[in-house]
Amino acid sequence: MSTALASGLLIGSGPAASAVAPSAPKDGAATLTGTPQEFLAKIPAVEPMMSGYKGTSSFIPPAVANAKDKRGCNLRQRMLISAAYTKPKVGKKCALTGGVWWVDGGTKKVTRAKDVTFTTALTLAEAWGQGASQWTPQQRLAWATQVERSTPAAGVQTRAKAVSALAATQQVISEATKKEAEAQVALEDRKIEVILYMTYCNRGLFTLAAMATNVFIVGICSQKWTDEQVKAILSADDVLERICWREGNRMFNVVSWGLSLAPDDLERLDAITGICQEVGVLSGAYIIGMASEEYKIARIPQPTTVTTSVIDPDGVDRGTTVVKVPFQDYSGQATTPLITSELFGVAAPVDWGDPGVPTGYLRLWDAGVSWRQMQPSKDGPIDWTKLDATMAMASRIGAKVMYVLGDTPGWANGGKSGATPPTNLDDATRFISQVCSRYKGSTPIHAYEAWNEGNLETFWTGSMSDLAELTSRLDRTLSTCGSGNLYASSTGTRSTNAFATKYPEYLRQLEARFWPIDGYTVHSYPAADGGPAQRIEEIAQFKTLLAQNRAPVKPILDTELNYGLAGLGQDRRAIDPSTGAAYLSQSFIQSVQYGVDSLFWFLWTQADYDKLGIQLNAGTPQTIQAWKQTYSWLVGRQMTRCADGLVVQACQLTGAKGNITLLWTKGPEVSVDVTGLGSTVQYLDGTSLSIGSSKTIGLGIAPVAVS
């Protein structure tokens, strides 16, 4: 099997490198050079979004697939001609004769067109979910029909021919191989499973106790595998070579076209690629053509702003279950701006009394000051009572204020619900003009949100064009007033269809109006059974849509967050106070890590509110203490680096208050070796303890600070 995969050119050294001479990419083609591991590092980890997918027609319209050229050739036949090593003769009704195709990675020579078929590097559904949903129809068609000309594998005796530098989507295989592959699926999948578990066990990333319910894993991990044994087992037949060829094509295609992979899928690909390199199937460096640049596709960025690693490098001692922290010093340089109190936002009513938590930002929604509540009639006076009191309270605690437009008065939309847009958009802008004129100068409203969750019909039943037009008019209104930043309408991410279809249209409409905003707002509620890790997936989805729709880089505010909310077929999940405190703390820490400028907790209430999974009120001392402690750790510092380990999560910060390392786990409680990070550990409840000579501490989902 050639190590010069069909979608890449080998240019390095090593046992396989000498077998293939590199070919130059076509003139002017954008290329990228690197090792498999370097390419893997460029793939963003993003959960797929399948909304709007309609099968093959989402990429290749039937009319295009069936259309014939002047020779009578349909799309598939034209692809066969393009893929041929020796071009076939084209007879009547596109009968193909005399062609030569090197299939199955260049290992088999086929001379009959009917014996040749195609396999995609990714399925159409995968490509759609990992970014192609935001491409133009022309870009999707280009991806789905990108065929690379077949060439013989290394060692096959034939004259050399040039190889395309583009990472092809469609690889040529034989019909016989396709049938054999169906029988090999179970074997290959089982071998992949062995690869993954042997890799993880050798790295010490599984513990027998944690995996006791999986007999297969325990059977593997209970043995001490040498590198030679691993290679011997995996090289016993050619299954591994087929796996490496398939997964290598997958990796090159994803990088070339600017797609992403689901986190679990990327982790799996990383492990497989590592084994393929160890046994010599993938070695050296490769050139791939960057189709994303050729076809002007907006690449998906990595969602983080702080350097991360994906494993706990020193692993887990299976005998003592002591996890090593990914770093043992404070050598990192600051990578974020100074963290201020504005990170800690909250939605709160005017009568919440003396704030129980330090707050730098108030968001006014569900606070008794909506447009409908303040201006119940067109010609009557505006009721400023509650908003005046809220502004006075914000001034006392030194917090900025965000006002949210929404909830249309009946007089402005023909007596319909508050979700129905105003018949005349100027009615909304006149109201905001009066609000802005009243609250400027020494007691200003700092920011305005164009509408609350405009992607959901619960709050906005109009078109995205009308919402963008309202946003643009609000921008002009605030510019005339001379006070306040305008943020785009917020979007909820958990309703995937409304998010993945409506929000991109809103962004495209904003682009057509030259981006009349100062920033973006998102509501990152995960599903009811989700936690902070799932919330970060929502943030990654949001940032992905921004990038794919060419949205300029601007501040991002997460203006509503809680956990356990009912919806998407799930009932509300009441979260116990200790877990709720841990979730809240993790959320503020990860907001800094993932580039969220402010996080507004929803909601401070007078008493427990049965719609929320985590309560925040005067009667929730654990939640309040977690807020205060996390505020103390973060505000006044800058983040330097983080590690999203398989066991331990870690973030380091520096500042005038000193260096600290914040640590927590994804779930299991473990002992952690904190050598080199300090002598004191401070817990979320405010207590502090000296770290003993063993340099180990107990750790769970509640963050702690080591200094």
Specify the DSSP class assigned to residue 336.
S
Structural domain contains residue 391:
yes
Q: In this predicted structure, what is the pLDDT of residue 159?
A: 37
With tokens 């909250």, the residue in question is 346
Asked if pLDDT for residue 239 goes beyond 90, the answer is no
Q: What are 33-70's pLDDT values in tens digits?
A: 999 989 998 999 888 999 999 999 999 999 999 999 99
**In angstroms, how far is CA 523 from the centroid of its own chain?**
15
Question: How far, in Å, CA of 148 to CA of 328, rounded?
Answer: 47
The average pLDDT across 2-21 equals 31
| Least confident piece of the model among 266-280, 284-298, 553-567 | 266-280
Question: How far, in Å, CA of 84 to CA of 422, rounded?
Answer: 60
Backbone angles phi, psi at 450, to 5 degrees: -60, -35
Compute how many other C-beta atoms are within 10 angstroms of the C-beta atom of residue 689. Answer: 11
Q: Of 588, 619, 635, at which residue does a domain stop?
A: 635
Q: In this predicted structure, what is the pLDDT of residue 442?
A: 86
Between 373 and 282, the higher pLDDT residue? 373
Question: How far, in Å, CA of 17 to CA of 121, rounded?
Answer: 23
Asked if pLDDT for residue 533 goes beyond 70, the answer is yes
Q: Of 294, 322, 355, at which residue does a domain stop?
A: 294
Q: In this predicted structure, what is the pLDDT of residue 569?
A: 86
Same domain, 563 and 489: yes
Q: pLDDT band for 271, please (50, 70, 90 cuts).
A: confident
Question: How far, in Å, CA of 249 to CA of 243, rounded?
Answer: 10
Task: Kindly give, in sequence order, each residue whose CB lies less than 8 Å from that of residue 323, ignoring residues fewer than 6 positions away.
Answer: 312, 315, 316, 645, 647, 648, 670, 671, 672, 673, 699
| Closest residue by Cα to residue 250 from 104, 127, 80 | 127
Q: What are 25-37's pLDDT values in tens digits?
A: 444 568 899 999 8
Q: In this predicted structure, what is the pLDDT of residue 228?
A: 64
Question: How far, in Å, CA of 46 to CA of 459, rounded?
Answer: 28
The average pLDDT across 484-502 equals 95
* Domain count across the chain: 3
**E strand intervals along 40-187:** 89-90, 96-97, 101-103, 108-110, 116-120, 170-174
Asked if pLDDT for residue 236 goes beyond 70, the answer is no
Q: In this predicted structure, what is the pLDDT of residue 224?
A: 54
The average pLDDT across 467-494 equals 97
Q: In this predicted structure, what is the pLDDT of residue 4?
A: 33
Alpha helices, DSSP H only, in 549-599?
577-593
Q: What share of the chain is helix, strand, coil (3-state, %, to 5)?
A: 35, 15, 50
Provide the residue range defining the domain that includes 352. 341-635
Structural domain contains residue 465:
yes
Question: How far, in Å, CA of 615 to CA of 603, rounded?
Answer: 8
Q: In this predicted structure, what is the pLDDT of residue 297?
A: 93
Question: How far, in Å, CA of 557 to CA of 631, rounded?
Answer: 17
Q: What are 630-658's pLDDT values in tens digits?
A: 999 999 999 999 998 778 899 999 999 99
Amino acid at 116: V
Between 244 and 520, the higher pLDDT residue? 520
- Average per-residue pLDDT in the chain? 85
Reported for 690-696, long-range contacts at CB under 8 A and 24+ positions apart, including other chains, are 696/322, 696/671, 696/672
Pseudo-torsion of CA 588, 591, 597, 603, nearest 10°? -50
The average pLDDT across 345-358 equals 86
Q: Each residue of 422-433: b (16+ CB within 10 Å) or e? A: beebebbbebbb
423: its two tokens: 């018949």
Number of helices (H), then strands (E), belonging to the chain: the values are 19, 27
Question: How far, in Å, CA of 622 to CA of 354, rounded?
Answer: 18
Q: In this predicted structure, what is the pLDDT of residue 197?
A: 57
Task: Kindly give, in sequence order, each residue whose CB lies less than 8 Å from that of residue 305, ignoring residues fewer than 6 positions away.
Answer: 335, 336, 593, 594, 595
Same domain, 687 and 546: no
Q: What are 137-164's pLDDT values in tens digits?
A: 999 999 999 887 788 876 554 433 333 3
| Whether the Cβ atoms of residue 403 and residue 394 lie closer than 8 Å to each other | no
| Whether the Cβ atoms of residue 550 and residue 134 lie closer than 8 Å to each other | no
Query: CA triplet 32, 36, 41: central angle to 5 degrees?
Result: 80
Q: In this predicted structure, what is the pLDDT of residue 95?
A: 96
Is 264 exposed, middle or buried, given 0-12, 13-18 or 19+ CB atoms closer than 10 A?
exposed
Q: Per-residue DSSP letters for 257-323? A: HT--B-HHHHHHHHHHHHHHHHTTSS-S-EEEE-HHHHTTPPPPPPS-SS---SS-TT-B-TTT-EE
Structural domain contains residue 329:
yes
Q: Of 635, 664, 691, at which residue does a domain stop?
A: 635
Query: CA triplet 281, 282, 285: central angle to 5 degrees?
Result: 150
The average pLDDT across 373-378 equals 96
Q: In this predicted structure, what is the pLDDT of residue 72?
A: 96
Q: What are 167-192's pLDDT values in tens digits?
A: 567 877 777 766 665 555 555 555 66
Same domain, 274 and 324: no
Structural domain contains residue 213:
no
Structural domain contains residue 410:
yes
Q: In this predicted structure, what is the pLDDT of residue 74?
A: 94
Same domain, 389 and 416: yes
Alpha helices, DSSP H only, in 5-53?
36-40
**In angstroms, how far is CA 71 from the centroid of its own chain?**
46
Q: In this predicted structure, what is the pLDDT of residue 694?
A: 87
Same domain, 473 and 579: yes
Alpha helices, DSSP H only, in 352-495?
371-374, 385-397, 425-438, 464-481
Q: pLDDT band for 14, please (50, 70, 90 cuts).
A: very low
| Whether the Cβ atoms of residue 256 and residue 7 lie closer than 8 Å to each other | yes
Structural domain contains residue 197:
no
Same domain, 507 and 651: no
| Whether the Cβ atoms of residue 156 and residue 107 lie closer than 8 Å to each other | yes
Same domain, 394 and 265: no
Q: What are 247-259's pLDDT values in tens digits?
A: 888 899 999 999 9
Same domain, 476 and 550: yes
Q: What are 536-571's pLDDT values in tens digits?
A: 989 989 998 999 999 999 999 999 999 999 988 899
Asked if pLDDT for residue 592 goes beyond 80, the answer is yes
Q: In this predicted structure, what is the pLDDT of residue 424?
A: 98
Q: pLDDT band for 316, please (50, 70, 90 cuts).
A: low
Q: Per-residue DSSP letters for 419-439? A: TSPPSSHHHHHHHHHHHHHHS
Same domain, 679 and 609: no
| Whether the Cβ atoms of residue 165 and residue 9 lie closer than 8 Å to each other | yes
Question: How far, in Å, CA of 631 to CA of 358, rounded?
Answer: 8
Asked if pLDDT for residue 452 goes beyond 90, the answer is yes
**E strand intervals along 602-682:** 637-644, 648-655, 660-665, 670-673, 680-682
H/E stretch holding 560 reads strand 556-561
Report the CATH number that the domain containing residue 440 is assigned in CATH: 3.20.20.80
Q: What are 379-402's pLDDT values in tens digits?
A: 989 999 999 999 999 999 999 999
Same domain, 569 and 536: yes
Q: What are 597-620's pLDDT values in tens digits?
A: 999 999 999 899 999 999 999 999
Question: How far, in Å, CA of 60 to CA of 659, rounded?
Answer: 55
Q: In this predicted structure, what is the pLDDT of residue 545?
A: 93
Question: How far, in Å, CA of 493 to CA of 304, rounded?
Answer: 18
β-pairing, 648-655 vs 660-665, is: antiparallel
Helix 175-203 crosses helix 239-257 at what angle (to 10 degrees)? 90
Q: In this predicted structure, what is the pLDDT of residue 225?
A: 55
Q: In this predicted structure, what is the pLDDT of residue 210?
A: 38
Same domain, 629 and 642: no
Backbone angles phi, psi at 292, to 5 degrees: -60, -35
Q: In this predicted structure, what is the pLDDT of residue 306?
A: 87
Same domain, 516 and 572: yes
Compute how many other C-beta atoms are within 10 angstroms of the C-beta atom of residue 532. Answer: 25
Task: Kindly give, in sequence order, each residue whose CB lies less than 8 Å from that of residue 533, ignoring residues fewer than 6 positions away.
Answer: 666
Report the CATH number that the domain containing residue 317 is assigned in CATH: 2.60.40.1180
Q: What are 205-216's pLDDT values in tens digits?
A: 444 333 333 434
Structural domain contains residue 202:
no
Q: Give the whole-number percent of the chain exceeding pLDDT 70.
A: 82
Q: In this predicted structure, what is the pLDDT of residue 270?
A: 84
Structural domain contains residue 406:
yes
H/E stretch holding 344 reads strand 344-347
Question: How far, in Å, CA of 163 to CA of 29, rounded?
Answer: 13
